[in-house]
Amino acid sequence: MLLHERVVPGQKLCIRNLATDEEVSCTVKDVNTGSSETPEVGVAFSQPSPRFWRVSFPPEDWSLRSSEAKRVSVAEGQAKPKPVVSNK
C-alpha cells in the first residue's frame, strides 16, 4: 500500500479500511520507493483477514468465454486485454 508515514520493516501497525471501519493489526515486511515519491509498503496481517480489502476474485473456472466476461474486440497486433474483476 502507499504510505506517506515513514515506517521500517518489523514495525507494528494498525490499519483501518475507511469504507468498512474495520481495523487489523499488521507488521511492515517491506518498504520500496515505487514509481511515485510515496513509498510502497508491504505488510503482513497478524491474523488472516481475507475479506479486509473487500476484493472479489473470479472463480477458478472463470475464463474470457464466461457469460460474465465483457466482450472486447482486439485489433490485430494489440495485446489481449486482461480480465476485468468487479467487487460488487
CB burial string 72-81: b at 16+ within 10 A, e below: eeeeeeeeee
Span 27-67, pLDDT tens digits: 999 999 877 888 999 999 999 998 899 988 778 887 777 77
Task: Report the C-alpha dihedral over residues 48, 51, 57, 60, rounded to 10 degrees.
Answer: 50
Question: Which pTM does this prediction carry?
Answer: 0.62
* Average pLDDT of the residues in 70-81: 51
At 80, the pLDDT band (50, 70, 90 cuts) reads low
Distance CA 16, CA 18 (A): 6
**Cα dist from 33 to 12, 41, 43, whole Å:** 20, 9, 15
